[in-house]
C-alpha cells in the first residue's frame, strides 16, 4: 500500500515523494490514516471576537493530537488539525499562510487560535479525505456529492492536480452509460455538475451535461426551475431558452386543461407583468416561426440520386401535407417542438410509403428535419430575450 501511495504522489508532483516520507513516519503517532484514528471528541471555545462564541467540537477523524507540523482550522463549529506538508504540497492558497512567521504564543493555526474557513464541514471533510486517501480509495470513488465537494474545494484553494483528477473522474462517470450518473441524478445535482464543469473549465463535461439537461427538460418533462438558476448565472443561452420554452409550454397546457376554449395563456400570480409580456411576445414569435417552417420545405442535399427532381417534388408535397395534420395543429401555439415532432412522424410514415423516393433522398430528408429541429432548439432563447 505504501509503494502505491508514493507512486501516486510522485505521478502528481515528484518533490512530494520526499514530503510524503515525513507524513508516513509521523502518522502512527500523530494521525495515521483517518479511519484508524482513535479520538474521543472534546469541546473547546473560540477566543477570537469576530467569531461566534459557540462551543466548538473537534472533528473525530481529521483532528490529530499533535502540534508540530500541523495547522488547525475552524469550519463552522468544527475544528480540524491537518498536516501542513499536505497543504503545502502544491502552490496552493495555504502555502503563503503557512510560510508567514508567527509568534510563539497564540499563533494563528494553533488549537487555541485556528484559521477560520468559510466552507461547510462536509466540504472541508471531503477535501481532507482526498488529501489523505490512498490511491485504491481515490480511483474507486463514485459518490458524486463527495467528488463535487472535492472539485469545488480544490479549485477554491488552487490544488490544480487534485482539481484535474477530480473533474476527470466526474467526467468519466458522467459519460459511462453503465454508471447511470446523469440519468439517476436529480436535476439540481445535474445543475451542480454543470456549474463545477464551468468552474473547472472542462468543456467536454459542460457540453455533455448541457445536452443531457436539454433532453430531459424538452422530452422527459424535467422541471426547468431546477436548472434555470445555473443557466442564467453562467449565461448558457441554449439552456436558458429551453427552460423558458418549457415554462411557457407548461403554462399553455395548464390553461387548456382548465378551459378548452381558452384563447389566452393563464399566468399564475407569482409571474410579474414583465415576465408575462415576455412570454406573450415569445408565444407569438414561436407561432410565426412554425408558420414559416411548415410553408418552406427544406432543400434535399442528395448527391448521386438518379431521379432527384422527382424526389424533390414528392418531398415538397409530403411536407405541405404533414404540416396540416391535426396532431401538429392541436398543439399549443408556442409548442413548436411538439408540432415539429408530429410533423416528423407524419413525414417518416409518408416516406416509408413513397416508392418514388430513393433511399438516398429519404436519408437526406430525415437529416434535414433533424437539422431544422436542432436550429430551433439553439435559437429558442432569441424568442424570449432580445438582444442577448
The pLDDT of residue 10 is: 44
- Structure confidence at residue 13 as a pLDDT band (50, 70, 90): very low
pLDDT exceeds cutoff 70 at 25: no
Length of the chain: 388
pLDDT exceeds cutoff 80 at 150: yes
**Which DSSP string do the residues of 171-235 spell out, in sequence order?**
HHHHH-GGG-HHHHS-HHHHHHHHHHHHHTT-HHHHHHHHHHHHHHHHHS---THHHHHHHHHTT
pLDDT exceeds cutoff 80 at 366: yes
Residue 30: Cβ within 10 Å count: 18
Q: What is the mean pLDDT of residues 76-93?
A: 90
Residues with Cβ within 8 Å of residue 44, at least 6 apart in sequence = 55, 56, 58, 79, 111
What are 207-249's pLDDT values in tens digits? Answer: 999 999 999 999 998 999 989 999 999 999 999 999 999 999 9
Cα 148 from Cα 183, distance rounded (Å): 17
- Structure confidence at residue 7 as a pLDDT band (50, 70, 90): very low
Per-chain mean pLDDT for the chain: 82
How many Å from the N-terminal Cα to the C-terminal Cα in the chain?
55
Q: What is the mean pLDDT of residues 370-377?
A: 95
The pLDDT of residue 3 is: 45
Question: Dihedral of CA 7/12/15/20: which sign?
Answer: negative
The pLDDT of residue 98 is: 72
Q: Which of 35-39, 124-128, 232-236, 272-276 has the lowest mean pLDDT?
A: 35-39
pTM: 0.77
Cβ atoms of 236 and 197 closer than 8 Å:
no
Q: Which residue has the higher pLDDT, 223 or 303?
A: 223
The pLDDT of residue 97 is: 73
Q: What is the mean pLDDT of residues 7-35?
A: 41
Q: What is the mean pLDDT of residues 347-363?
A: 89
Cα 178 from Cα 168, distance rounded (Å): 17
pLDDT above 90 as % of the chain: 55
Amino acid at each position: 500500500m505504501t509503494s502505491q501511495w508514493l507512486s501516486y504522489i510522485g505521478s502528481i508532483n515528484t518533490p512530494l515523494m520526499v514530503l510524503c516520507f515525513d507524513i508516513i513516519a509521523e502518522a502512527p503517532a500523530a494521525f495515521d490514516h483517518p479511519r484508524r484514528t482513535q479520538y474521543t471528541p472534546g469541546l473547546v471555545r473560540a477566543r477570537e471576537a469576530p467569531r461566534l462564541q459557540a462551543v466548538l467540537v473537534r472533528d473525530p477523524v481529521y483532528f490529530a493530537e499533535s502540534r508540530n507540523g500541523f495547522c488547525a482550522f475552524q469550519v463552522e463549529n468544527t475544528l480540524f488539525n491537518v498536516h501542513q506538508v499536505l497543504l503545502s504540497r502544491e502552490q496552493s492558497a495555504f502555502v503563503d499562510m503557512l510560510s508567514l512567521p508567527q509568534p510563539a504564543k497564540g499563533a494563528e493555526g494553533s488549537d487555541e487560535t485556528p484559521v477560520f474557513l468559510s466552507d461547510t464541514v462536509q466540504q472541508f471533510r471531503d477535501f481532507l479525505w482526498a488529501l489523505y486517501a490512498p490511491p485504491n480509495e481515490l480511483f474507486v470513488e463514485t459518490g458524486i456529492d463527495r467528488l463535487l465537494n472535492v472539485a469545488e474545494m480544490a479549485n477554491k484553494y488552487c490544488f490544480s492536480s487534485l482539481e484535474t483528477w477530480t473533474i476527470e473522474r466526474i467526467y468519466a462517470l458522467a459519460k459511462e452509460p453503465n454508471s447511470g450518473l446523469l440519468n439517476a441524478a436529480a436535476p439540481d445535482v445535474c445543475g451542480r455538475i454543470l456549474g463545477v464543469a464551468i468552474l473547472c473549465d472542462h468543456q467536454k463535461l459542460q457540453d455533455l451535461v448541457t445536452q443531457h439537461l436539454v433532453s430531459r427538460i424538452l422530452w422527459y418533462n424535467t422541471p426547468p426551475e431546477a436548472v434555470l438558476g445555473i443557466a442564467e448565472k453562467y449565461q448558457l443561452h441554449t439552456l436558458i431558452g429551453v427552460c423558458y420554452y418549457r415554462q411557457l409550454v407548461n403554462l399553455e397546457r395548464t390553461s387548456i386543461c382548465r378551459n378548452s376554449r381558452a384563447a389566452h395563456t393563464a399566468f399564475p400570480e407569482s409571474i410579474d407583468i414583465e415576465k408575462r409580456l415576455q412570454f406573450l411576445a415569445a408565444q407569438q414569435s414561436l407561432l410565426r416561426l412554425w408558420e414559416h417552417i411548415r410553408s418552406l420545405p427544406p432543400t434535399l442535399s442528395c448527391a448521386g440520386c438518379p431521379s432527384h427532381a422527382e424526389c424533390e417534388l414528392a418531398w415538397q408535397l409530403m411536407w405541405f401535407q404533414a404540416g396540416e395534420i391535426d396532431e401538429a395543429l392541436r398543439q399549443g401555439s408556442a409548442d413548436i417542438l411538439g408540432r415539429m415532432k408530429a410533423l416528423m412522424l407524419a413525414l417518416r410514415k409518408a416516406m416509408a410509403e413513397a416508392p418514388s423516393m430513393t433511399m438516398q433522398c429519404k436519408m437526406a430528408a430525415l437529416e434535414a428535419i433533424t437539422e431544422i429541429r436542432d436550429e430551433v432548439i439553439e435559437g429558442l432563447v432569441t424568442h424570449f430575450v432580445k438582444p442577448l
